Amino acid sequence: MQKKIFVKNLINNQPTKDISLDDIKNKIFRVTSKKKITVKVSKDIVFSSNTLPIIAGPNGVESRELIFKVAIFLKKLGVKILRGHAYKPLTFPYRSKKYAETMSNGMDWVDEVKKYTGMKIVTEVTEIKHLDRINQTADILQIGSRNMQNLELLKEMAKTKKPIILKRHFGASLRDMLGASEHILVEGNEKLILCERGVSTPHTHRDTSRFMLDLQAIVALKELVKFPVISDPSHASFWAPWVPSLAFASIASGCDGLIIETHPDPKNSAVDPLQPLNFKEFKKLFIRAKKLGKFFNKKII
Ligand code: PEP
Ligand code: MN
């Protein structure tokens, strides 16, 4: 129904800055098709039905000890999907000594954690050469914002038939994002989850906030697309105190899932120490999100 209104306005030749009727008809017809898609990770973990999964965990798999600690905390709380990122592209090539990518070692620890807790795992894939190893462990593959239009990578990931989280690049339009989505769908993988993670804007109102969560993108995507749309307020705001409010606003905007960074000792997180919630803050967010979810008929898991 909402898509109809969107399309009708295009037919009326109202000015359209971004997505045209031609795009919907000929270029992004798979991702904007009417068919309602739910992405099922397991029997009880489904995106875009009446459940709203929260994907939580540290920025990266820094050590075996860290990933166990976080997973045990989250599991106890009832969170079902863990961030298990052992491959981390950084904006700048210089890594602190404290943090090198843990790569296949990190994936081995994630494997152990997965067996121990039964949690499902999301891992970012940065290069085709790492895909096989990641695919052995991860239940959901993630395309980071920086790789949104790495089409060869998208194609190879699609072939695994695993659910794929596609993050929007912070400078990309929804048109570009839906074009990238179409590349995944054309490979025959319909387990697509779109993720809003903030955009570059002239002002973010804090010098520590690199990006601004584009809530309007969530609403616009929900209007056009029947695939699940999730939100990552941690990467968007870059600032832990803002994360709960932006998470609740995302739920109210119709998102089907959230990515929330959590770390037992945020200030000592190897990457982006301003953005993870500590355990106490995460627990509070989780409890409040569950209450809000009820209002929107979404079970937060
Ligand atoms: C991440 O999820 O860890 C990540 C790197 O996010 P983004 O690509 O959105 O910066
Ligand atoms: Mn990150």
Of the ranges 36-45, 141-150, 264-273, the best mean pLDDT one: 141-150
| pLDDT above 90 for 49 | no
**Nearest-CA residue for atom 2 of ligand 1:** 144
> Largest alpha-carbon pair distance within the chain?
59
Percent share of the chain, pLDDT over 70: 95
pLDDT tens digits, 129-157: 999 999 999 999 999 999 999 999 999 99
Atom of ligand 1 nearest to the CA of 59: 3
Q: What is the pLDDT of residue 1?
A: 52
CB 21 within 8 A of CB 7: yes
CA distance 274 to 204: 15
Q: What is the pLDDT of residue 15?
A: 57
Atom of ligand 1 nearest to the CA of 144: 8
Q: What is the pLDDT of residue 13?
A: 57
Ligand closest to CA 259: 1
Percent share of the chain, pLDDT over 90: 84
- How far, in Å, are 172, 175, 215, 260 from residue 201 at the CA level? 12, 18, 13, 22
| pLDDT above 70 for 11 | no
| pLDDT above 70 for 2 | no
Rounded distance from Cα 294 to ligand 2 centre (Å): 29
Q: Which of 70, 101, 124 to mutate for ligand 1's pocket (most ligand atoms within 8 Å of CB)? A: 124
**Nearest-CA residue for atom 3 of ligand 1:** 59
Rounded distance from Cα 89 to ligand 2 centre (Å): 8
Average pLDDT over residues 227-232: 97
Whole-model pTM? 0.96
Rounded distance from Cα 144 to ligand 2 centre (Å): 9
Residues with CB in 5 Å of ion ligand 2: 59
Q: Per DSSP, what are the bridge partners of residue 40?
A: 46
Region of poorest pLDDT, from 35-39, 71-75, 130-134, 287-291: 35-39
Q: Which of 134, 170, 230, 232 to mutate for ligand 1's pocket (most ligand atoms within 8 Å of CB)? A: 232
Rounded distance from Cα 235 to ligand 2 centre (Å): 6
Domain range summary for the chain, segments of one domain joined by +: 51-87+101-200+215-264+281-290
pLDDT tens digits, 160-213: 999 999 999 999 999 999 999 999 999 999 999 999 999 999 999 999 899 999
What's the CATH number for 51-87+101-200+215-264+281-290?
Answer: 3.20.20.70
Share the mean pLDDT of the chain. Answer: 94
84 DSSP 8-state letter: -
